[in-house]
Amino acid sequence: MIDYSNFGTTQKIIASLAKVGPHAISRWISKHSVKPILSPKESSRKLRYSVEDTRRFFKDSNISPELNKKDIILSFYNFKGGTGKTSICYQVSSHLALMGYDVLVIDADPQGHLSTSLGFDNNHNYPTLSDVVNETVSIQDAIRFVYPGLQCIPSNLAVTRLEVSLNDLPKREERFQILMEQLKGQYDFIIFDTNPTISLLNRNILVCSDHISIICETQPYSLNGLKILMEDMIKFYKGMQISLPDILVVPNKYEDRSSNCAEAMTVLRQFYSNYMIPDFAIRKSEDITTSAKQSLPLAFFARANSIALEDISDLITALLHRFVKDRDTKEMS
């Protein structure tokens, strides 16, 4: 596991995540005499502030909207591999934590790519979801600390066995929903990274999710799968007699000058505009790959003007907005 205590954010990064001018941050820093981490001899532009202080800024300044509900369950989904589920799940989770929320992220893919991004060794021996479902470990004991605000249940190949275990249990599609009850009130967000299969494991995640972000590539060939995915999901929820969660289609790996991407966006808008954030796609950026490889969220290393940071920050803003608004309309009805 990685010790993240020496990592932090710069004023410009905080400003970019908070969508405020850099002066708001510098004023707050001087008012509260906040000390940077590491060498204070750097120019003020380069000084980094701890995760705790970053979170404190967001909380003090009331920038992150208050949610009407605890334990909002988000999932990043697609039964196609390589679309960017894990990458986006990692960035959204790690930055929601920096923005002052309490986040639990659960790796539900036996490949464990999310776990490696979170600083876990490939062959780690920590408990996984598999141990929790088999009741050899309580869910509380399977939770690991990553950095303030961010905790996780890592995965490894043992999670492949989960499919068999779930199959033998009563209410086999609702096991996670029952497990999530045990975490009630502990987190603002519980976030699942899923594996690219149509499995019992994924159906458990669908049942307990409040929101599903379907990450798809902006390539014409990847859109056929999306149609089948949407139809299957709707049929599944109908069959389970539960209402559809909030669903977002998130186009990823968009390239400005690519005609394939432009074509894919046109088709996406034509069929799924109700599920999309207007004029938004996550652009292709080397920072996303570097981030996963180095096990460092964008905020810990990227430049403040990184397009990846900008896109992730926009996605988070749109997600937060939906939850707050969603809850409001539900309460009124």
Ligand X SMILES: Nc1ncnc2c1ncn2[C@@H]1O[C@H](COP(=O)(O)OP(=O)(O)O)[C@@H](O)[C@H]1O
Position 144 contacts ligand X (CB under 6 A): no
43-49's contacts with Cβ under 8 Å and 24+ in sequence apart are: 44/11, 45/10, 45/11, 45/12, 46/10, 47/10, 47/11, 48/7, 48/8, 48/9, 48/10, 49/8, 49/9, 49/10, 49/11, 49/14
Based on the shown chain and the rule CB under 6 A, indicate whether residue 83 belongs to the binding site for ligand X: yes
* Nearest-angstrom CA–CA distance, 96 and 315: 11
- Is 55 a binding residue for ligand X by CB under 6 A? The answer is no
Q: Which stretch binds Mg ion (CB under 5 A): 106-114, 117-125, 221-229, 232-240?
A: 106-114
Binding mask 157-196 for ligand X (x = CB under 6 A): ---------------------------------------x
Partner from Mg ion, ligand X, none contacting 266, C-beta within 5 to 8 A by type? none
Residue with Cβ nearer ligand X (23 or 293):
293
DSSP E strands: which ranges in the chain? Answer: 8-9, 49-50, 72-77, 103-107, 144-147, 150-153, 189-193, 211-217, 246-252
Quick one: which of 117, 190, 201, 189 has its CA closest to 158?
A: 201
Q: Which is nearer to Mg ion, 114 or 320 (CB)?
A: 114
Instruction: State which residue, 64 or 306, has the beta carbon closest to ligand X.
Output: 306
Query: 22 is in the binding site of which of ligand X, Mg ion, none (Cβ under 5 to 8 A by kind)?
Result: none
* Coil/strand/helix, residue 245: coil
CA distances from residue 326 to 18, 20, 64, 73 in whole angstroms, order as listed: 21, 25, 16, 14
Counting contacts by CB under 6 A, is residue 116 touching ligand X?
A: no
Residues 53-92 touching Mg ion, rule: CB under 5 A, are 85-86
Binds ligand X by CB under 6 A, chosen from 282, 302, 304, 316: 282
Q: How far is CA 203 from CA 66, 132, 172, 206, 217, in A?
A: 30, 17, 9, 5, 22
Q: Which of 5, 26, 45, 82 binds ligand X (CB under 6 A)?
A: 82
Residues that bind Mg ion (rule: CB under 5 A) add up to a total of: 3
Contact partner at residue 292 from Mg ion, ligand X, none, CB < 5 to 8 Å by partner kind: ligand X
Interface residue list for ligand X (CB under 6 A): 81-87, 113, 196, 252-253, 282, 284-285, 288-289, 292
Residues that bind Mg ion (CB under 5 A): 85-86, 113
